[in-house]
Amino acid sequence: MTEPGTAPDPDAEPSEPSRWARLRRPPRLMVLGARVGLVAAVAAVVVKVGIDNASSLRHIHLRVAPAWFAPAAAASLVAGLCMPLGWRLLITAYGPRVARRATLRIWWTAQITRYVPTGAAALATRVVLAAREGVPRMLAGASLPIEVAIVVGWGTVLTGALLPDSVLALPARLGVTALGAIGLAGLPVLLRRAGRWVPRMPSPRPGREGTMPLYAAESWYGVNSLLRTGAFLFLAAALLPVRWGDLALLAGAFNAGAVGGLVSIAPGGLGVREGILTLVLKGRYGFGDAAALSVALRGWDLVIDVVWLTAARVAGRRPRT
């Protein structure tokens, strides 16, 4: 620190905030560039494959088996409860506690805004609503990327474990699975380091008080991933001729598309998830049927989102006094 009225020493070491401000700009640009590149690559491949398979788009052979819609709806609705409960435990790991009804209202109100470009609306909605329940704004805002990282971790584990070798080579599958598992196992350590290194970033509570809720939150997010995968399998069975041998391919394709949509800049992963899902499944079902299934999945998710948002808003109402 310099005395008042004296010029700063040009040879002095930069302060921690200024050093961090200088170091974090390139990674941000690199991450943004990678996300934009992912969207562009998926779009280019889908357009090219779509042109090469234009005839199949005119011959879509979906057949409806209504009996499979019931288990698909049940799995989707239960999965919609797991994500808010996981977020609640994530917040608990830092100290604040949020009531269950308020948790549903906050999480699902923010979730429905994820289709707004840039994701700013989802972040702002979560921050504002959580602050009313006593959650610090910085923590509420940080919980969104942490949540996305956990879901991506589970998605990569399931992608590597389920995709057949014909789609993803075995060494790549093992690498993807290991990367996701290591990230999930080391999450408490990573968050504590982030609390020390990132300005204003909160840190989880020390010891088991912070670690156990984090792992419990991961478990809820993992159950959500499994249930959503099962719901997709039921939805696919309701629209396409699914054989037992297709289940691993469908489940792996679903999780690969989910990961791609989450890490892209597209609002709600719109277009990216559908593109990856179509590219992985076109060899089995044809480009037209695979694309139709991906579009049906997006519509299905939107209906489930509206149902849960309505239920959460009703449950979150406070009786008048």
Name the pLDDT band for 48 (thresholds 50, 70, 90).
Answer: very low
Reply yes or no on whether the pLDDT at 148 is more than 70: yes
Classify the phi-psi angles of 43: left when phi > 0, otherwise alpha if psi is within -120 to 50, otherwise beta. alpha
Q: What is the mean pLDDT of residues 229-243?
A: 95
Give the pLDDT score at 200.
84
pLDDT per residue over 97-137, tens digit each? 999 889 999 998 888 887 776 667 888 889 999 999 999 99
Q: What angle do CA 256, 277, 231 make, to 5 degrees?
A: 80
Select the more confidently predicted residue: 22 or 137. Answer: 137
The rounded mean pLDDT for the chain is: 82
Give the pLDDT score at 121.
81
Nearest alpha-carbon partner for 155 in 212, 244, 247, 228: 228
Distance CA 16, CA 24 (A): 12
Q: What is the mean pLDDT of residues 43-64?
A: 55
Give the pLDDT score at 249.
96
Give the least confident one: 7-16, 208-217, 268-277. 7-16
Q: What is the mean pLDDT of residues 180-188?
A: 95
Give the pLDDT score at 230.
97
Name the pLDDT band for 63 (thresholds 50, 70, 90).
Answer: confident
Distance CA 262, CA 155 (A): 10
Q: Which 3 state secondary structure label does DSSP give 9?
A: coil
Reply yes or no on whether the pLDDT at 5 is more than 90: no
Name the pLDDT band for 14 (thresholds 50, 70, 90).
Answer: very low
Nearest alpha-carbon partner for 62 in 234, 238, 233, 240: 240
DSSP tag of 117 = G
Give the pLDDT score at 12.
43
Select the more confidently predicted residue: 1 or 207. Answer: 207
pLDDT per residue over 72-86, tens digit each? 999 999 999 999 999
Give the least confident one: 21-30, 121-130, 286-295. 21-30
Give the pLDDT score at 256.
94
Give the pLDDT score at 28.
55
Give the pLDDT score at 287.
85
Return the biggest CA–CA distance within the chain. Answer: 80
Q: What is the mean pLDDT of residues 142-169?
A: 94
Query: 105 and 313 in contact (C-beta within 8 Å)?
Result: yes
Q: What is the mean pLDDT of residues 133-157?
A: 94
Q: Which 3 state secondary structure label does DSSP give 162?
A: helix
Q: Which amino acid is at 48?
A: K
47 burial via Cβ count (<10 Å: 0-12, 13-18, 19+): exposed
